[in-house]
Amino acid sequence: MFNEEMYLKNKDKFQDMCKKVKEDPLLQSFHIYPQAGWLNDPNGLCYFNGKYHIYFQYSPLDEKKSDVLWGHVSSPDFINYKREDPFIFPDTRLDYDGAYSGSAFVKDNKINFFYTGNVKHKGDFDYIRQGREHNTIKIISDGYNFDEKKLILSNDDYPSDMTKHVRDPKIYQKDGTYYMFLGARSVEDKGLVLVFKSTDLENFTYHMRIESQSKFGYMWECPDFFSIDDRDFLILCPQGLESEEYKYQNIYQAGYFTIKIDLLSKKYELANFEELDYGFDFYAPQSFEDSKGRRILIGWMGMPDANYTNPSVAYKWQHCLTIPRQLTVIDGKIYQNPIKELEKLRKEKLQILPTNHYDELVFEAIAEDISEDFSIHLRKDVSLKYEKGILELAMGKSSAGRTRRKVKVEKINSLRIYSDRSSIEIFINKGEYVLSTRVYSQEADFYSENLEFSLYRLNSFSFIE
Ligand code: FRU
């Protein structure tokens, strides 16, 4: 339980934490990070009344995760941001132990938010099969205020072969029907998605489930369903996959199934699962469609339960969001590219010739027409090498436990690298593959033995706090 009163009472502590955050030499400059404390999943992404609203899982008084609430930033243009007051506090019987992840659906000039109220009963429980409530809650809002938290679904409404892990609602509308997708873990420990349907966005009944034929992890978190160019995609975060040499290298994954589905007849077919990101820090992405019709995706640049860490905890903050990416589809595959707005951050352009060194941490670098293997230094002990169809990101001691990630890529012809003070996002072949990672070397040293880069120095986001 964490209510607004408790937050306001601790304002001094919070302000002290905020001061400490500002002292971090590796504080991000063009990423959304918590003003102080802990951040995880992006939530409730939407465009409403001329502003983008970005909410996120947030523990403002603790740099480790505690009872999470929804933090909030708004922006008219993805460059200028305003930190808004916390949005949903876990302050009722329905969400006592955390206002967990959820999404937004704009209708009739109001935002309908759906999220999971996490409740843990006191006692000797495993909190998987017993002792937990995952309540699906709806609030209607202008993005800032709301009157009521309405219980839409609770444990009893989920199919009886589910564990108590059913969460992270996302709405999809088709032909006058609203479908709610929820991530779930069955009593057989199989990850799947439950679909509920409604005609009024309030009364939802169980419709169907979507699952892989053979087990693909024990839990699917944070589902997202959408269409691009008449193709349907189901993003989700499976937990419990075995690592392979070039796949599933993180403890949990984030990726998508291309899905052929007829929601009316409940027939569907899932194609192969594709990972959305091959770096160390990417999880729980969420997408939304903006007023220009773009499908924009933002991820959490973090990883739950990882064995690597974030030295930023010494400065009272932890984690950030990825830069927003626009999703497009080429040959049936999702491509992800930084949204166009980020080009407004560019300052002067430099040409970095092979073996030339660039010694600042913050930049955007682009290499095109690549036709050979390459080796790039991103920081003093962080490198990216492409050899015989394998791309390898190797991180040294400064990376707080992050080691190596490898991806099979048949051919690389372009690279676009966004480097902030403590993160690197690498877009390969104009968004065909992406690697995102936090990085903690303070020693800037960017160069390549054999590639030439166009490099832009970058401005910071402006943040009204
Ligand atoms: C994913 C997740 C969600 C949950 C939220 C709680 O990172 O575990 O499934 O709603 O985080 O913070």
Element (H, E) at 18: helix 11-22
What is the predicted pLDDT for the residue at 436?
98
445 is a catalytic site residue: no
Q: Whose CA is closest to 153, among 143, 166, 170? A: 166
Residue 463 in domain: no
At 266-298, the pLDDT tens digits run 999 999 999 999 999 999 999 999 999 999 999
Alpha carbon of 114 to ligand 1 centroid (Å): 14
The last residue of one of the domains, among 338, 364, 388, is 338
Query: Tokens at residue 385, please?
Result: 């090498």
217, amino acid identity: G
The residue whose two tokens read 């409730």 is 44
> At 209, which CATH number?
2.115.10.20
User: In this structure, are 353 and 327 located in the same domain?
Assistant: no
- Cα separation of 78 and 125, whole Å? 43
Place 162 in a pLDDT band, splitting at 50, 70 and 90: very high
User: Could you tell me what percent of the chain has a pLDDT over 90?
Assistant: 100
With residue 19 as reference, give the H or E element that holds it. Answer: helix 11-22
Instruction: Give the Å distance between the CA of 101 and the centre of ligand 1.
Output: 6
Angle at 190 between CA 184 and CA 195, to 5 degrees: 35
Query: What number of CA atoms fall less than 13 Å from residue 230's CA on the CB side?
Result: 1
On whether residue 250 sits in a domain, the answer given is yes
What does the alpha-carbon distance between residue 66 and residue 17 come to, in Å, rounded to a whole number? 16
Residue 20 phi, psi (nearest 5):
-60, -40
Does the Cβ of 69 fall within 6 Å of ligand 1? no
Mean pLDDT, the chain, whole residue set: 98
433: domain CATH number is: 2.60.120.560
Q: Which of 24, 41, 281, 305 is catalytic?
A: 41
Q: Examine residue 464 and state whether it is found in any structural domain, yes or no.
A: no
Whether 85 and 323 have beta carbons less than 8 Å apart is answered as no
- Across residues 133-137, what is the average pLDDT? 98
What is the per-residue pLDDT for 66? 93
Instruction: Indicate if ligand 1 lies below 6 Å from the C-beta of 448.
Output: no
Answer yes or no: are the C-beta atoms of 406 and 246 closer than 8 Å. yes
CB of 304 shorter than 6 A to ligand 1: yes
User: At which of 317, 338, 359 does a domain end?
Assistant: 338
The mean pLDDT value for 447-459 works out to 98
Average pLDDT, integer, range 391-414: 97
Instruction: Report CA-CA distances (Å) from 56 to 39, 303, 457.
Output: 7, 15, 28
Q: How many domains does the chain have?
A: 2
Q: Are strands 462-464 and 80-83 parallel, antiparallel or unpaired?
A: parallel
If asked whether residues 146 and 207 sit together in one domain, one would say yes
Instruction: Using alpha carbons, select from 129, 132, 113, 110 the residue that is nearest to residue 121.
Output: 132
φ/ψ of 166, rounded to 5, equals -140, 110
Q: Report the predicted TM-score, pTM, of the whole model to 2 decimal places.
A: 0.98
Give the residue-averaged pLDDT of 309-330.
98
Give the containing element (helix H, strand E) for 12.
helix 11-22
Domain ends where: 321, 338, 355? 338
- Across residues 132-147, what is the average pLDDT? 98
- Predicted pLDDT at 399: 97
Please check whether residues 328 and 387 belong to one and the same domain: no
Regarding whether 422 and 320 lie in a shared domain, the answer is no
Residue ranges making up the domain that contains 278: 4-338
pLDDT tens, residue by residue, 234-270: 999 999 999 999 999 999 999 999 999 999 999 999 9
Task: Pick the atom of ligand 1 nearest to 168's CA.
Answer: 10
Best residue among 168, 182, 283 to mutate for probing ligand 1's pocket (most ligand atoms within 8 Å of CB) is 168
Between the CA of 299 and the centroid of ligand 1 the distance, in Å, is 12
Q: Establish if 135 belongs to a structural domain.
A: yes
